[in-house]
Structure 1
């Protein structure tokens, strides 16, 4: 991460070059952003946001850079999308790496605040409206470099990512095989935002004020963007509101259809929900690889990698619909993980003690440092809970059998075994994940 002095010097150069006025005050690191850094600053009486990569190495292998992303945002604005105005793209002489500067918009991206708004139904309609506008863009409207996604090639790429990450997660293997077996025929591609969900939308009251984070925009099936925002992980605390945590999927789709003038295929919607659940599971796994490589040593990387288990549980909830009734009815048996320690402190107790001490520092920290403290305490909680997790046999062989189609949801006892694994792993990683409570109620009758 860049030091504050270098950041100020670089921003001063950008402000002078772009005619934004004199930099005032200290730049503030914004929380959130699983991939890029965001810094809010003031210059010439106006507020701006710098969006930059944590390192130049972090940009290697990406389909396009920040200059293309900035031009893409301006193209979306021209179509009426509620996106921020880009005022400058970083240059080598700025010595800030790769990124661009936007005018700051009113509102918050905090899902906890947004999901408590007074008019969630009205906000959902605005979100559907802007998505329809994004999907109205064609290749002639955007800069060269925005890729066109071939679905089968994309599935093959996910499979390569899975193997590179060890290839030993059976539920992901099951999902990959399902995608290969159920890939729909191609459709006319439209511009997909690629990350259109709660957390990347700015809202003030019940009004949409900004669509952020365009770094993975591409041309593809419109159902992908629609499905992604309805995944369980982006509902946050509102598990009962499947569409972005705001309302019903049916209402979201109806509002989108009215604005886009199309009819949504529910089977395609399900395919892309499963695809994106696999995609994000692998995206979480990659966070650990990025940390190990040194491309980004932020604490969030290693912690987000453990959120893979959220997607595995969600994926199993989606896929189990295809299992025979007898397998869906088979009871799930969870092992007894209780353990009593005598004498010296256990791993769990030591992790808990450190977490309690970190909590005493909370009031002494502000901004991103306070956010990092919360991430550190989450990490220690994972370590403490994992101490009681019984070791499992290697999942590599089972994953290979599932990828090859040698085993499936029709295999006797497989679904019950995968359910048990998913519950155990997620209970250690993220016990407060809303879908975990729903899965425990559905699978083991716990209330």
Structure 2
């Protein structure tokens, strides 16, 4: 963001959010956010420090990611429903000084650094955090129908939900033009092993350590809703507990920070639904296939970027390990 854009942003915040005009304002790009850009802004409002986050499109995107207006409208509705999300404050269409759709939301306190959260030494603290993570997910999954959200995210037919999802993954893999026999085998296996879908609920789509802000011993906010859609609750549960999202703590199945039964007990306290671990085989394979495809899409984004990104370029090197995990799960070695 150059100096002119910075001044235009400051003017916007003064006009729309009542920032104090004659005080300093700082801005810095946040780490993470490999798919979208996030900028932390510190200014003053009513002569007190006020922190916000600006979230905008990156120069390139992942095909299945939602747009910023869709994500903003969803956040507005979820905040109104008391789901643990940052409060959205304003949205701007693309024809602006950043040449991008963007929105601004409150900045919440805490840490979302997965590699640190999974290595906490205090077991009691980990259990408190895991309980809150399970209950926050349960609160989200209580949304089985909502007219406003269904205008933002149309609800699919339950009968064709999984077939359409797998077909879309096939299409994404074909578009990448990579020869990945393990992924093709996994998609074929999924077509033959589709589980019965009981309910469609609102799911986050990327619910994992790293997108969950933790402040001391509780969840202060759930971030990055760009993959949210209607689906089977086990899709979120499988993603959160998949080996690829345990940050090396493979014995801690629930996000790398705790036991699966503790996570699901917390979830069941709100929903009265307990998903046994043996039901997750399909969903863990789905998680690894989906992440492998996204990893290759990220690599393609590096090639299409005007500036090279080492983070995006290296992401594809995750794919062989993800494929090994897939074979271990199908062979019941994991």
Indicate whether the TM-score tops 0.5. Answer: yes
Deviations 1:119-172 (A, max 9, x none): 111111101111011112223252623143511111011112222223411221
Q: Does the 8 Å CA contact 1:41/1:49 hold for their aligned counterparts?
A: yes
In structure 1, the residue matched to 2:50 is: 46
Q: How many residues align?
A: 319
Deviations 1:62-117 (A, max 9, x none): 57421221121232223332210111112345322122111111101112332244
Partner of 1:94, secondary structure, is: coil
Distance 2:150 2:97 in 1: 25
In structure 2, the residue matched to 1:111 is: 114
**Shift in alpha-carbon separation, 1:93–1:159, aligned structure 2, 3 A:** closer
User: How far off is 1:188 after superposition?
Assistant: 2.2
User: Is 1:262–2:304 an aligned residue pair?
Assistant: no
In structure 1, the residue matched to 2:188 is: 177
Matches within 5 A, 1:171-250: 171-250=182-261
Taking only aligned residues, the RMSD between alpha carbons, in angstroms, comes to 2.3
Q: Does the 8 Å CA contact 2:53/2:106 hold for their aligned counterparts?
A: yes
Of residues 66, 73, 76, the one that matches 1:74 is: 76
User: How far off is 1:175 after superposition?
Assistant: 1.0
Partner of 2:110, secondary structure, is: coil
Q: Does the 8 Å CA contact 2:199/2:232 hold for their aligned counterparts?
A: yes
Distance 1:10 1:185 in 2: 52
Distance 1:7 1:115 in 2: 38
In structure 2, the residue matched to 1:124 is: 130
TM-score, length basis structure 1 = 0.67
Distance 1:188 1:236 in 2: 30
Partner of 1:224, secondary structure, is: helix
Q: Does the 8 Å CA contact 2:73/2:152 hold for their aligned counterparts?
A: no
Distance 2:16 2:64 in 1: 26
Partner of 1:229, secondary structure, is: helix
Gaps of 5+ in 1: 322-327, 329-438, 440-447
Q: Does the 8 Å CA contact 2:29/2:40 hold for their aligned counterparts?
A: yes
Distance 2:197 2:230 in 1: 12
Partner of 2:24, secondary structure, is: strand
User: How far off is 1:265 after superposition?
Assistant: 5.1
Q: Does the 8 Å CA contact 1:191/1:218 hold for their aligned counterparts?
A: yes
TM-score, length basis structure 2 = 0.88
Greater share of residues in strand: 2
In structure 2, the residue matched to 1:8 is: 6
Q: Does the 8 Å CA contact 1:58/1:296 hold for their aligned counterparts?
A: no
User: Is 1:94–2:101 an aligned residue pair?
Assistant: no
Q: Does the 8 Å CA contact 1:64/1:145 hold for their aligned counterparts?
A: no
